[in-house]
Structure 1
Amino acid sequence: MKILVVGAGAVGGYFGARLAQAGRDVTFLVRPQRFEQLQRDGLRIVSPHGDLTIKPKTVTADKVSAPFDVVFLSVKAQALDQAVNDMAAAVGPDTMIYPVLNGMRHMGTLASRFGERAVLGGVCMVATDLDAEGRIVQLAPMQKLVYGEIDGQISDRVRALDAEFTGAGFDTQLSATIQQDMWNKWVFIATLGLVTCLLDGPIGEINSATDGTAIALRAVEECASVAAARGYSIPAPFLENLRKQVSDKSSPQTSSMYRDLEKGKSVEVETILGDLLSHAGEHKLETAVLQAACVRLRVYQKARLSKKAK
């Protein structure tokens, strides 16, 4: 399969590099500045699974002229609209779009532009970050891609995708319940992002403070209640594991939103928390902690944009 990875950031760059290392036909669609950096330095990964540097096949949007078999979309929510325009020429009648963005809002955007049939469901489990040198640094051993048809069918095309991704140096799962999987991840990242950003620290430090654990556990229940109201009740073992993670007094864990916040970067507040809060409002749920985190990050985003405008 010809695979186009849209972006060579912390997520797409990581999995795309592993696929390329395993001999898959991978091209990265990148912005001009990243194109120049990759041409100069290569795509570099620092990982507990082994460091890697490759000379990737790269292309900019103006040079995409033919459809790909798979478009692997892993940009941040704020870059989605631009990415959709950039990748349009790569999407043909038989192209599979495999998005691993956070939340669920992007699914409607992609279906509106390219049709529902083109879009698969996707979940990515990895903790990576871009350092100051443009290297992708893997922060924990976990590395997994989950994919499936939205209607739960195990189609020939998704089997072919599974064959392409399997054995490429990371864990994979072909799912017949991908929407549930996406909600599970959404609740996980929303809870972790809410707690670390609202309470301004890693999980261990939060739980070492008086009432920190109570707020963390309240966040779990609020986020899970939204999923249940939407018809995607989070499985009990998943919830129990999440409760353990967010109440661990020795944990150094943060969240990608918190790491972006610490760097003064834009955060995915509306995609991860704001959209969840909207669903809560539709179902008249009490989600005061979720609401507080949304307000805190909206204030941050507004101040950040005001600073940039000066």
Structure 2
Amino acid sequence: MKVAIFGAGAIGGFLGVKLAQAGVDVTFIARGPHLAAMQANGVTLRSEGESVTVHPRCLASAEEAGVHDYVVVTLKAHGLPGAAPAIAAMLGPDSAVVTGINGIPYWYFYGLDSPYRDRVVESVDPGGRLWPVLHPSRAIGCVVYPAAEVVEPGVIEHSYGDRFTLGEPDGSRSARVEAFSRALIAAGLKAPVRPRIRDELWVKLWGNLAFNPVSALTTATLDRLIADDELRALCRGMMLEAKAVAEALGVRFGIDVDKRIAGAAEVGAHRTSMLQDLERGRPMEIDALLGAVVELGGVVGQAMPLCRSVLALVRERARQAGCY
């Protein structure tokens, strides 16, 4: 099995190191000082009090990497349209694209048994340009739970989590998704295959669509958002608006909103990814995490006053910071 990690930063690096340790032929596609350090010294993963260094092939060019069985994409969502042609260069006739990206994926409505079947989500795929380049038939959904950070070029610190939930958009247990699941499990990771991958996608997104933008607006860490009654009420209200949208699309939630908030509280004083991007002057995942949800609210005719207001505010905050 040949696996390419496209966008081998924190999460991609963590996954790639684990696969390489298990004997999988892994190629990292990265850039900048991080790539240079990996090429010179290998990739170091610090996790659970231990440190390991592996030496996979690390490249800047997808074309040079050649064809792989699986291309795992761990970019930020807004980076996917621009990277699509490079990703496509690594795909053979039977290659799969594993989308380990936060938020609503570009393939969300592909093959879905609903009135919205094959609808393009404009917030994450403007004009439907991704479909012909990375056709959704290649996609394997992946909900990423681990937390990791590139603490210095070539060095990844893994703080918690080891689950990568997988699922075909059509709900099948295909040979390709089963094989990839087995590879992840052999690498010491949890990799269940779910027939309703969108349900699990929404459970993770449910917190991110509220906590991420509100944290960017307030600069508050996750524990503060939940401990403050007014901020918690705002986030909870946004989550309930989103739940109504998801259920109108056929999603089933296995937990209630307060249990989901309690789960987020266990993470502690965490700076959300959107807040980190704001502080570092990087583009923020506003459209994948909240813009697409508001777009879907319009599709199903669901009023979302809290989500729409926060979306307008965080977009303007990002514009002023040069992060949108």
Which range, TM-score by smaller chain?
A: 0.7 to 0.9
Hey, what does 2:23 align to over in structure 1?
A: 23
Partner of 2:103: 103
Identical residues among aligned pairs (%) = 25
For residue 276 of structure 2, what is the aligned residue in structure 1?
Answer: 259
| CA distances 1:118-147 after superposition (whole Å, capped 9, x unpaired) | 1112211111222244532223x2121111
Tell me how far apart the structure 1 counterparts of residues 267 and 195 of structure 2 sit (CA, whole Å): 36
For the residues of structure 2 that align with 1:204 and 1:154, how far apart are their CA atoms? 38
Q: TM-score, normalised by structure 2?
A: 0.84
2:115 aligns with: none
State the Cα distance separating 1:59 from its structure 2 match.
Answer: 2.2
Alignment counterpart, residue 124 of structure 1, candidates 144, 147, 151: 144
Residue 250 of structure 1, CA deviation: 9.6
Are 2:155 and 1:135 aligned?
yes
1:39 lines up with 2:57 in the alignment:
no
Question: Any gaps of 5 or more consecutive residues in structure 1?
Answer: none
**Structure 1 residues 50 and 168, CA gap change in structure 2 (3 angstroms):** same
1:195-237 C-alpha deviation (Å, 9 max, x unpaired): 42233302322344352332232122122222112221322x2
1:171 aligned to which of 190, 193, 197: 190
Choose from 201, 209, 229 the match for 1:182: 201
Length-normalised TM-score, structure 1: 0.88
1:222-301 to 2 correspondences below 5 Å: 222-235=241-254, 237=255, 239-245=257-263, 248=265, 251-301=268-318
Structure 2: where are the runs of 5+ without partners?
A: 108-119
Q: Could you tell me how far 1:32 is from its partner in structure 2? A: 5.3
> Shift in Å at residue 284 of structure 1?
3.5
Alignment partner of 2:180 out of 134, 151, 161: 161
CA 1:302–1:212: 2 relative to 1, 3 Å: closer
Paired residue secondary structure (1:52)? strand
Q: Runs of 4+ in structure 1 displaced over 6 angstroms?
A: none
The size of the alignment, in residue pairs, is: 304
Change (3 A) 1:21 1:281: same
Structure 2 counterpart of 1:43, which letter?
V
Q: 1:214 to 1:35 in 2, by over 3 A?
A: closer
Separation (CA, whole Å) in 2 of partners of 1:13 and 1:227 = 31
Is residue 144 of structure 1 aligned with residue 163 of structure 2? Answer: yes
The residue aligned with 1:76 is: 76
Contact 2:211/2:225, CA 8 A, preserved across alignment: no
Q: Which residue of 2 aligns with 1:213?
A: 232
Pair 122,206 (structure 1): closer, same or farther in 2 beyond 3 Å? closer
Q: Is the 8 A contact 1:196 1:258 kept in 2?
A: yes
How far, CA to CA, are the matches of 2:266 and 2:24 in structure 1?
42
